Structure 1
Amino acid sequence: MEVISFSYAVPLVVLAATVVFLVVKLADRPFNGRRPPGPAALPIIGHLHLLDRKVHQSFDKLCKKYGPVISLRFGSTHAIVVSTVEAAAEFFKNHDLVFGNRPQSRASRRFAYDSAGFAFAPYGAYWRFVKKLAITELLSARTVEQLLPLRRQELVDLLGRLLQAAERKVKVDVSHELIKMTNNTVARMATGRTCAPAEGESGDPEESMKLVKQVAELIGSFNLSDHVWLPRGWDLQGCNRRIEDVLHRYDTMMERIIKQKEATRGARRGGGATLDLLDILLDLSENKGANIKLTRENIKGIILDILVAGSDSSAVTLEWALTELINHPEMLQKAREEVDRVVGRERLVEEADISGLPYVQAVIRETLRLHPAAAFVSRESRKDTTIYGYNIPAGTSLFVNIWSLGKDPSQWDDPLEFRPERFFSSADDGQELKQQQLRSLPFGGGRRICPGAGLAQQVVHTALTALLQCFDWQHVGRQDLEEGIGLVVARANPLVCVPVARSNPMPANRMGF
């Protein structure tokens, strides 16, 4: 029996070695020529074993060891990771068109209704059409101004909930309240309502918020079948099942909202009501002279992109900014003194006040440097190219680790220290300030930079100013800085505080109604 086992073992070992050899050779074949440095890869899985759940931190460690531009392989997916400002500029500025696509996963394809959305659509005529649409219609100065009352109402509602907690002297999950405010704000601007069931309907009042969070988690999750061919189609992790379930619930919600919108659009047009983004998209879908006709799937995909991009990211920035100020009471006091001096306590801060609050602006810039909502941005090469003498084939994924850019010691003094003054000292020098912002790229770069960055900053600046103006956050103890997991990097633990009202700063006749 031992002889028989040995006789079978020899060919099996030879076969296994041959398979491993072929897998490694086939996996490496796209890099014909000089490739960026990187660690040795394992057969089949490549470098997946080197990534933990906080992928941006894994990228940072690998780049510190192997260099600012490294090559990795995730199963059969080849990737380049970039971790310095100079390298990011090389890809975003000089090779931006080559890397005009985004990597596709099952989650991104399904939630984009198979490229009917915007964020993950391939670079081309449709993507250029929607980007122009976003700039000239959806996010134009006129549209943003028209939707100001909706943003104001959601901010006032947030402050009202916090004021009630202050009166009762109870703890508040501030993280949850911030996400609720930003989600409702973006949802109302996008669809005219919070996406919760309308009066008389049954359903979860936080349906939209939960769906948006689940979409972001699934897009940011690692799905083994996207990268490793062997288990493809088996759904070993259950990701595909979850994707279909969340998409079905989102699609059902959006169909309900669109049908309600269609039933009332005639009356809204005649009554001079404020048009939300869904109104604009429906109008454009009926434009027979448009170069590209928007389908229902296009509309639902674009609205989902707006909800995901604008909700959690803004809330996370507010959460980190407030955390850092609580941990640095002297900076919190300095920001509050500026708010009291410029805005006062007789009225609630308005978006128009933000330009006169340079220190508050510096707090947000410093927060985005240390705690970018999106820890990295991804692109994909559309054709073969050569960068830094490295041969990069078409279909290679590019990951620019934004989290690393903000902590690069060659670009920043004391890079791990929270110090808004580094921006505030250059507030009067527009060119220098612009150069400082380009060192961290919190909204990405190149053609696919976030088109809603300006609006997001308006919402974040105004909300943080209101929180400083209306409440005392000093006496809640030092907060941890542990990062959570996901596409948007929030705190690992929610920010829980007992807010203390500052001399009843929101009288009813000054609430902004």
Structure 2
Amino acid sequence: MAVLIIFILLCLLSFLCYSLFFMKPKDSRDGRDLPPSPPSLPIIGHLHLILLSTLTHKSFQRLSSKYGPLLHLRIFHVPIVLASSASVAYEIFRDQDVNVSFRHSPPIEESLFLGSYSFISAPYGDYWKFMRKLMVTKILGPQALERSRRFREDELDRFYKTLLDKAMKKESVEIVEEAAKLNNNTICKMIMGRSCSEETGEAERIRGLVTESMALTKKIFLATIFHKPLKKLGISLFKKEIMSVSRKFDELLEKILVEHEEKMEEHHQGTDMMDVLLEAYRDENAEYKITRNHIKSMFVDLFIAGTDTSSTTIQWIMAEIINHPKILERLREEIDFVVGKTRLIQETDLPNLLYLQAIIKEGLRLHPPGPLLPRTVQERCEIKGFHIPEKTILVVNSYAIMRDPDFWEDPDEFKPERFLSISRSGQEDEIRDKFLKYIPFASGRRGCPGTNLAYASVGTAVGVMVQCFDWKIEGENVNMNEAAGTMVLTMAHPLKCTPVPRTLNLLPP
């Protein structure tokens, strides 16, 4: 009898596992109108095709090149729709923007990092709309950025002096590390009105937590995909690692919050991000009542989005510039002409530096910080005439879209001039209205609200490095291979070079 009971339990467990992980979800349309699907294997679906490369965005790009710009894939039981062309992206964000403005449920809801409190991972609803409104008006809007411009100028001057000190000592510089310090200090100052303290280790702790968080992004993506079936079995992937980072952020940010509240009680009248969010937190008549965890999670989002992505972008662009001496020389000539040789480049110079703008855009086209844009289709719909079931994961491959040979001439070449011709002919609005071929910051309602800040931060950092220094590297060219294992596009071999001061007589800003 005992053997029979064990046999029955094993059969039930096997059926449960099969139904949760391996059985295709049923659809009333029987899959007849689903997008094309590459040949799959039993149980694992298309997992083997995706794992052909450790760079997921490139695996997806190869699949789309072979089978089409809109595909239906399956990883175990999980359906995924992959969009990889500008015309498909345009239709999605034009006709289905609200429908695809949702995220999958976070794997660890209580985490400050991409949990239920996070603006990045929050579902499209009252909280997300409230925070988005705060972001585009009082936190990252034009007037808010103008008020905080002095903070960024101070940190840019500090960045220049750090590089100059290393240049005088003939020390090499790891570009992404110095850029991370610049961006981290800038975000700190914009958040709480002061720099993160290097003496107390505060700045180092934040940078370390950002690094830990970014290393977890791919694991969180996998945990999100398999969250629901695993939850039924009482399993939570990577919970220990995710909550460890969350608790460290919580401890640090609670201390900063308390410090700021004490200053407010002493009649501190500030205009930093902390003031804005604490005012919303204390407003009994606010459209949405946020909590301290919402504030902390917002700052986690800002540190991650404002530090790591901008730093890797600066590194990629500097690598491209160093590999293209003629482009470097032309950019330097533009900066010398517009800015001169007696002061540092400033944000207010950027509108007049058209070639620098073109270089930043071209760098983002080739090396978007987030090459894959994951969404969830909330309700069933049609895209390009194909039926998309509700709750399907949608992945827009911005990397493939911005290297699509149907829309970009020499798509894998670094040619900033292509953006000069677009600007001069006034085609940018026309391109945006007909198809989405340039989406480094996503698009639609869930497009990045910090785009203007990113362009300003990256533009001035690259501008200072080109304006003030020559750069020596080992070997003839920078290795441009991409690193695996993260959802952010990073260099496999961090750019390390030695700055050499140019003969300039720079005045303090």
TM-score (structure 1 length as normaliser): 0.89
1:26 alignment partner AA: M
123 and 109 in structure 1: CA distance in 2 versus 1, 3 angstrom threshold: farther
Q: Kindly provide the amino acid, as one letter, of the partner of residue 500 in structure 1.
A: V
Deviation for aligned residue 1:192: 2.8
| C-alpha spacing 1:144/1:413, structure 2 compared with 1 (3 Å) | same
Match of 1:243 in 2: 242
Q: Show the counterpart of 1:220.
A: 218
Match of 2:23 in 1: 26
What is the aligned counterpart of 1:292 among 285, 288, 296?
288
3-state SS in 2 of match to 1:311: helix
Pair 1:314 & 2:310 matched? yes
Residue by residue, what CA displacement relative to the aligned partner does 1:364-420 show, whole Å, maximum 9, x if unpaired?
111111111111111101111122232212111111101001110000111111111
CA deviations 1:242-271 (Å, max 9, x no partner) are: 1011000000001010011111113353xx
- 1:260 and 2:256 matched: no
* Residues 41 and 187 of structure 1: CA distance in aligned 2, closer, same or farther (over 3 Å): farther
In 1, distance between residues paired with 2:109 and 2:315?
Answer: 26
- Does the Cα contact within 8 Å between 1:169 and 1:499 map onto a contact in 2? yes
The residue aligned with 1:483 is 482
- The alpha-carbon deviation at position 215 of structure 1 amounts to 1.7
SS in 2 for 1:493: coil
Alpha-carbon separation, structure 1, partners of 2:301 and 2:96: 25
Structure 1 residue aligned with 2:467 = 469
- Matched residue, 2:497: 497
Counterpart contact for 1:196–1:208, Cα < 8 Å: no
Distance 1:25 1:141, change over 3 A: closer
Structure 1 321/433 Cα, relative in aligned 2: closer, same or farther at 3 Å? farther
Deviation at 1:444, TM superposition (A): 0.3
Structure 2 counterpart of 1:483, one-letter code: E
Matches within 5 A, 1:356-375: 356-375=352-371
Residue matched to 1:46: 45
Say whether the 8 Å CA contact 1:162–1:499 is kept in structure 2: yes
Distance 1:58 1:46, change over 3 A: same
Q: 2-side partners of 1:224 and 1:490: how far apart?
A: 19
The residue type paired with residue 158 of structure 1 is: F
1:511 matches 2:493:
no
CA distance in 1, matches of 2:100, 2:152: 35
Change (3 A) 1:433 1:172: farther
* Larger displacement relative to structure 2 (397-406 or 225-234): 225-234
Q: Which amino acid in 2 is paired with 1:177?
A: E
Moved more, 122-131 or 215-224: 215-224
Contact map agreement 1:191 1:278 (CA 8 A) in 2: yes
Describe the superposition over 1:342-369 as per-residue Cα deviations: whole angstroms up to 9, x where unpaired. 1111111111011111111110111111
Q: What does the per-residue CA deviation read over 1:288-346, in whole Å, with 9 as the maximum and x for residues that have no partner?
A: 11121111111111111111111111111111111111000001000000001111111
**Are 2:442 and 1:441 equivalent residues in the alignment?**
no
Distance in structure 1 (CA, Å) of the matches to 2:346 and 2:319: 23
Q: 1:303 to 1:17 in 2, by over 3 A?
A: closer
1:189-231 superposed Cα distances (whole Å, 9 cap, x missing partner):
123344457x6x5x46411111122222213336655445469
Match of residue 421, structure 1, among 413, 417, 423: 417
Contact 1:107 1:219 in 2 (8 A): no
Q: Tell whether the 8 Å contact from 1:423 to 1:433 is kept in structure 2 after alignment.
A: no
| Distance in structure 1 (CA, Å) of the matches to 2:362 and 2:348 | 21
Q: 2:112 touches 2:296 (CA, 8 Å); kept in 1?
A: no
Specify every segment of 5 or more residues in structure 2 that has no aligned partner in the other structure, as ranges: 1-7
| 1:349 aligns with one of 345, 348, 352 | 345
Letter in 2 for 1:253: L
Asked if structure 2 preserves the Cα contact closer than 8 Å seen for 1:182 and 1:314, the reply is yes
Aligned to 2:374: 378
Residue equivalent to 1:70 = 71
Let me know the Cα RMSD of the aligned residues. 2.8
Tell me how far apart the structure 2 counterparts of residues 433 and 466 of structure 1 sit (CA, whole Å). 30
Structure 1 stretch displaced more, 417-426 or 79-88: 417-426
Residues 410-446 of structure 1, C-alpha deviations (whole Å, 9 max, x = no match):
0011111111111112333334466279412111011
In the TM superposition, what is the alpha-carbon distance from 1:42 to its structure 2 partner?
3.6
Secondary structure at the counterpart of residue 298 of structure 1: helix
Deviates more, 1:47-56 or 1:129-138: 47-56
Q: Specify the alignment match of 1:393 in structure 2.
A: 389
Number of residue pairs aligned between Structure 1 and Structure 2: 491
Q: Tell me what 1:174 maps to.
A: 175
Partners of 1:467 and 1:49 lie apart in 2 by 43
The more displaced of 387-396 and 110-119 is: 110-119
Shift in CA distance, 421/511, structure 1 to aligned 2, threshold 3 Å: same
* 1:162-186 deviation per Cα after TM superposition (whole angstroms, max 9, x unaligned): 1111111121111211111112211
Rate the CA distance shift 1:505–1:41 in 2: closer, same or farther, 3 A: farther
Q: 1:307 to 1:441 in 2, by over 3 A?
A: same
1:328 corresponds to 2:324 = yes
Kindly state the Cα deviation for residue 149 of structure 1 after the two structures are TM-superposed. 1.6
- Percent of aligned pairs with the same amino acid: 35
For 1:3, the equivalent position in structure 2 comes to none
Closer, same or farther: CA 414–17 of 1 in aligned 2, 3 Å? same
- Matched-pair contact (CA < 8 Å) for 1:24–1:43: no
Query: Residues of 2 paired with 1:86 and 1:399: CA distance?
Result: 15
Q: Which residue of 1 aligns with 2:4?
A: none
Write the distance in 2 (CA, Å) between the matches of 1:84 and 1:492.
27
What is aligned with 2:36? 37
Match of residue 209 from structure 2: 211
Which moved further from structure 2: 436-445 or 50-59? 436-445
Deviation at residue 286 of structure 1 after TM alignment = 0.9
Contact 1:137–1:143 (Cα < 8 Å) also in 2: yes
Change (3 A) 1:245 1:110: same
Rounded Cα–Cα distance in structure 2 between residues aligned with 1:453 and 1:160:
27
Contact 2:130 2:288 in 1 (8 A): yes
CA drift at 1:22: 6.3
Moved more, 347-356 or 145-154: 145-154
The residue number in structure 1 matching 2:137 is 136
Q: Deviations over 1:87-137 (max 9, x none)?
A: 011111111111120223425772357422211111112211111111111
Q: What residue ranges of structure 1 are gaps of 5+ in the alignment?
A: 1-10
Q: Could you tell me which residue of structure 1 aligns to residue 162 of structure 2?
A: 161
What letter is aligned with 2:477? Answer: R
State the one-letter code of the partner of 2:338: V
Give the counterpart letter for 2:253 in structure 1. M
Instruction: Give matches, 1:95-106, under 5 Å.
Output: 95-106=96-107
CA distance in 1, matches of 2:13, 2:283: 60
